[in-house]
Amino acid sequence: MKKFLNLKKNIFIFSSLLVLLFFLSIWLWHQFQKEERLYFCDDKTIICDLSEAPYHDPSLPVEERVEDLLSHMTLDEKIGQLALVERSEIKDKNDIATYGLGGLLSGAGSHPENNTALGWQEMTADYQTYTKKTRLQIPLLYGADAIHGNSNVPGATVFPHQIGLGAANDPDLVRRINEATAKELAATGIYWNYAPSLDVAKDLRWGRTYETFSSESDRVENLAAAAIIGLQGENSATPFVIATAKHYIGSGAMIWGTAVNEDYKIDQGEVRLTEEELRAEHLPPFKKAVEAGVWSVMAGLNNWQGLKLSANKYLLTDVLKEELGFQGFVVSDWYGVYEIPGNNYQNTITAINAGVDMVMLPFDYKKFIADLQQSTSNGRVPASRLDDAVRRILRAKFSLGLFDRPAPTANDLAIIGSEEHRALAREAVRKSLVLLKDRRQTLPLDKNLDTIIVAGSAADNSGRQCGGWTVEWQGIDGNWLPGASSILKGIKEAVSSETKVIFEETGNFDLDVKADVGIVIVGEKSYAEGVGDEAEPQLSPEDLATIEKVRKASNKLIVIIVSGRPLNIKLPARNWDTIIAAWLPGSEGQGVADVLFGGYPFVGTLPIEWEL
- Closer to ligand GLC by CB, 152 or 451: give it: 152
Residue 225 Cβ vs ligand GLC, minimum distance, rounded to whole Å: 20
Pick 88 or 353: Cβ nearer ligand GLC: 88
**Contact by Cβ (8 Å): 144, 242:** no
Residues 6+ away with beta carbon under 8 Å from 169: 214, 219, 222, 223, 604, 605, 607
**Is residue 518 near ligand GLC by the rule CB under 6 A?**
no
Give whichever of 153 and 521 is closer to ligand GLC, judged by the CB atom.
153
CB atoms within 10 A of CB 59: 8
Q: What minimum distance in Å lies between the beta carbon of 233 and ligand GLC? A: 21
Closest distance to ligand GLC from the beta carbon of 408 (Å): 22
Q: What are phi and psi of 101, to 5 degrees?
A: -60, 140
- Pairing mode, if any, of strands 244-248 and 192-193? unpaired
How far apart (Å, rounded) are the C-alpha atoms in residues 428 and 423? 9
Say whether residue 142 binds ligand GLC (CB under 6 A): no
Residue 307: alpha-carbon gap to chain centroid: 24
Based on CB atoms, which residue is closest to ligand GLC, 298 or 459?
298
Nearer to ligand GLC, 198 or 429 (CB): 198
Least gap, CB of 503 to ligand GLC (angstroms): 36
Q: Which of 221, 371, 529, 594 is catalytic?
A: 529
Over the window 276 to 315, marking each residue x when it contacts ligand GLC by CB under 6 A and - when it does not, the resulting string is -------------------------x--------------
The residue annotated as part of the active site, out of 170, 216, 333, 516, is 333
> Which contiguous run of DSSP H or E holds residue 490?
helix 487-494
Instruction: Please report how close the Cβ of residue 320 comes to ligand GLC at its closest, in angstroms.
Output: 17
Q: Which of 65, 83, 111, 145 binds ligand GLC (CB under 6 A)?
A: 145
Q: Tell me: does residue 248 bind ligand GLC (CB under 6 A).
A: no
- Closest contact distance (angstroms) between CB of 145 and ligand GLC is 5
> Cα separations (Å) of 274 from 250, 252, 282, 306?
11, 14, 11, 12
Distance CA 607, CA 220 (A): 9
Question: Is 512 annotated as catalytic?
Answer: no
Among 264, 334, 368, 597, binds ligand GLC (CB under 6 A): 334
Order of strands across the sheet with 307-308?
Answer: 270-271, 303-304, 307-308
- Assess 191 for contact with ligand GLC (CB under 6 A): no
Burial class from Cβ neighbours inside 10 Å (0-12, 13-18, 19+) for residue 121 reads buried
Chain centroid offset of residue 555 CA: 45
Number of residues assigned to the chain: 612
Q: Does 246 bind ligand GLC (CB under 6 A)?
A: yes
**Does the annotation count 76 as an active-site position?**
no
Instruction: Check binding of 107 to ligand GLC (CB under 6 A).
Output: yes
DSSP letter for 234, please. Answer: S
In the region spanning residues 14 to 53, those forming contacts with ligand GLC, defined by CB under 6 A, are none
Does 577 sit near ligand GLC (CB under 6 A)? Answer: no
Distances in Å between the Cα of 87 and the Cα atoms of 132, 152, 363, 516 are 18, 14, 10, 54
Q: Is the peptide bond before 537 cis (omega within 30 degrees of 0)?
A: no
Taking the complex as a whole, how short is the minimal distance between the CB of residue 197 and ligand GLC, in angstroms?
7
Q: Quick check: 194 binds ligand GLC (CB under 6 A)?
A: yes
CB of 424 to ligand GLC, least distance (A): 23
Residue 161 sits in the site that holds ligand GLC (CB under 6 A): no
Residues numbered 410 to 449 that lie near ligand GLC (CB under 6 A) are none
Give residue number: closest CB to ligand GLC.
194
Binders of ligand GLC: how many residues, by CB under 6 A? Answer: 8
Out of 184, 216, 270, 333, point to the residue binding ligand GLC (CB under 6 A). Answer: 333
Q: Which is nearer to ligand GLC, 194 or 264 (CB)?
A: 194
Q: Which is nearer to ligand GLC, 124 or 538 (CB)?
A: 124
Q: Which is nearer to ligand GLC, 473 or 597 (CB)?
A: 473
Query: Measuring CA to CA, which residue among 385, 227, 237, 403 is closest to residue 317?
Result: 385
- Phi, then psi, of 430 in degrees rounded to 5: -55, -45
Long-range own/partner contacts, residues 436-442 (CB < 8 A, 24 or more apart): 436/579, 436/580, 436/581, 436/610, 436/612, 437/573, 437/576, 437/577, 437/578, 437/579, 437/612, 438/577, 438/578, 438/579, 439/577, 439/578, 440/556, 440/577, 440/578, 442/517, 442/556, 442/558, 442/577, 442/578
How many Cα atoms are found within 13 Å in the side-chain-facing hemisphere of 281?
18
Positions marked catalytic: 333, 529
Residues that bind ligand GLC (CB under 6 A): 107-108, 145, 194, 246, 301, 333-334
